[in-house]
Amino acid sequence: MRFDILTLFPGMFAGPFDESIIRRGRDKQLIDIAIHNIRDWATDRHQTTDDAPYGGGAGMVMKVEPLTACIESVKQLHPASTVVLTSPQGRRLTHRVAAELAGQSGLIIVCGRYEGIDERMRSLCIEDDISIGDFVLSGGEIAAMTIVDAVTRLIPGVLGSDESAGTDSFCDGLLEYPQYTRPPEFRGLTVPEILLSGNHNLIRKWRRSESLRKTRLLRPDLMTGVALTKEDRKLITELERNDAAACC
């Protein structure tokens, strides 16, 4: 899969894409990442890419001419890629959205800056808007890194045989169950005995129960979107019974 990132600050990407899972995906040639400096498509000697907003107000707006030229140039090289803008107006990046994006042949990610882009860009070039949350960043570069990371780990072959994106939080709508490793006891805190039992069926049920418990406690809003099985409902009943007993 190919990622083309359009930014005013290409230096921000020097480190994050050279480490960990993304580095592995690049080494395996499963992903290809190219960084494009939008200023290279500006036509004046100062490489101007922003201007004051019509109607007045604080801040600056990304100019339509250089950004359009940059997008069209990259799109011409990779016509099957989808043009995505990082924007607080976009749809929220979730595991489901990341999986959808991972199915694309390529993404052209436009990093928003300042007060945003000239609105005419949405009609001319932008095909999708993605937001990583209801908060303000200085620009879309960190959001672009987040999108690339979330999508890359879902591309077949990127993760090793001993790793799995299928058990991560949100994959099935639930938070992930608690994880433990050696030693079995540390400062008086012990690993749950069931994880040491070797009984894989009991371990599976415990993990599912803990995922349900964590999600109900920490993110109850997620429960409305989870397709519960008959076993899940039984586990929830047991959790509710245990909660009631603990309160008495």
Q: Is 118 a catalytic residue?
A: no
Residues 66, 141, 153, 210: which is the catalytic one? 153
Residues 115, 176, 232, 238: which is the catalytic one? 115
Long-range contacts (CB closer than 8 Å, 24 or more residues apart) made by 66-69: 66/38, 66/39, 66/41, 66/42, 67/6, 67/38, 67/41, 67/110, 67/117, 67/118, 67/121, 67/125, 68/121, 68/124, 68/125, 69/41
**Cα separation of 45 and 167, whole Å?**
52
Q: Is 153 a catalytic residue?
A: yes
Q: Is 184 a catalytic residue?
A: no
Residues 51, 129, 168, 176: which is the catalytic one? 168
Q: Is 207 a catalytic residue?
A: no
Residues 24, 88, 176, 208: which is the catalytic one? 88
Q: Which residues are catalytic?
A: 88, 115, 153, 168
